[in-house]
Amino acid sequence: MSLILFAFVVRVRDGLPLSASTDFEHNRELQERKQQLRTISKALARLPDRGTVKGQQLNIYFVSSEGVSYMTVCHCSLPVAKAFCFLEDLRWEFTACFNSTVVALAARPYPFLEFDGTIQKLKQQYNQSGGPALEVTLAEVQEDLRIHPPQVINLDDVELSNGTANGHMEQGPGSGQNQRLEPVTAPGILSLILNIMCASLNVIRGVHLIEYTFQDDYEGIWNVVAFLLAFLCCVFQCHLYLFHSSLKKLKSFTLLSVIILCNLYLFGMRNAWQLSFHISVASLSTVLILTRKLQDRTNDCGV
């Protein structure tokens, strides 16, 4: 029985797949682990250099070095030291074939598929002989793991981290897909620019009024509050457009309502054209927030 089932090489900064072993086994848990590799690869920049993810029968191990992460799915009966020894050998083989410049310039997934042959030979060596040829290497890895044990990674934390950084929405188990917001459109960029402009006008007027409010025994304090509240709502509208959020519809209409009320309260300090401009920008942003949908992104870590 093979103890090392799958190997995966990715770029740390963006999770770009560089190479992977050809997969001849198709059991369900292996496919789940491969999907989890994709999730982990997107968060490598925020994870420690060495870690493990425990499974029922299969575990994930990874080592990151010089901007590249080496990942593997192994049977739980394989000693941890041998799994990391395999990753160290994989790292040496990869760095001997490809320098950091070539890796940094890679623009498409799996640019080094020819490295699969090397991965297969290394897997075969470990699966047939049970470990590396040099026992001293294994002993060194065991000692290093004793001093610096790998961190056990919680996949829920990784998925939450990905969602915060990239606008991903958490998926149910076994869905096999990651979802993220559609790319920002030209109208979306326009609405962001206009929203930033409105926010700037609101905060400038609000800060300017503060000085006169203090001089006039706090008369007009509510005008200051209205300007600053409208400023905050504009900022939150930008955030809501750029990042996925639960209760998006409720938040969108709440922000729009507050902006409208603030501007109506400021009638007299702003003319009708200015009020129309601010309310129109807020309305446009609300429409774009509600129409920016989630898109499915299928996993591509299998070869």
pLDDT digits (tens, 9 = 90+) for 175-188: 334 456 778 888 88
**Helix, strand, or coil (residue 108):** coil
Short-list 180, 152, 184, 183, CA closest to 164: 180
Contacts of 197 (CB under 8 A, 6+ apart): 281
Ramachandran angles phi, psi of 105, nearest 5°: -85, -10
- Domain boundaries, given as residue ranges, for the chain: 4-166, 186-291
The reported pLDDT for the residue numbered 292 is 83
Give the DSSP letter string of 246-258: TTHHHHHHHHHHH
**Helix, strand, or coil (residue 152):** strand
The reported pLDDT for the residue numbered 224 is 84
How far is Cα 207 from Cα 177, in angstroms, rounded to an integer? Answer: 47
Residues 233-242 have pLDDT tens digits of 999 999 888 8
The reported pLDDT for the residue numbered 193 is 92
The reported pLDDT for the residue numbered 33 is 87
The reported pLDDT for the residue numbered 197 is 92
The reported pLDDT for the residue numbered 221 is 81
pLDDT along the chain (303 residues), means of 10: 86 91 78 87 88 89 92 90 90 91 90 90 84 66 86 77 49 44 84 91 84 62 86 90 84 91 86 90 91 60 46
Would you state the structure tokens that stand for residue 127, as one six-digit string?
């699966």
Tell me which DSSP letter residue 130 carries. Answer: S
Tell me which DSSP letter residue 303 carries. Answer: -
The reported pLDDT for the residue numbered 149 is 86
The reported pLDDT for the residue numbered 130 is 67
CA angle 164/184/298 to nearest 5° reads 65
How far is Cα 155 from Cα 36, in angstroms, rounded to an integer? Answer: 8
Task: Name the fold adopted by 4-166.
Answer: Beta-Lactamase (3.30.450)
**Helix, strand, or coil (residue 45):** helix
Q: Label residues 2-30 b or e (16+ Cβ within 10 Å = b).
A: ebbbbbbbbbbeebbbbbbbebeeeeeeb
How far is Cα 166 from Cα 228, in angstroms, rounded to an integer? Answer: 29
The reported pLDDT for the residue numbered 153 is 84
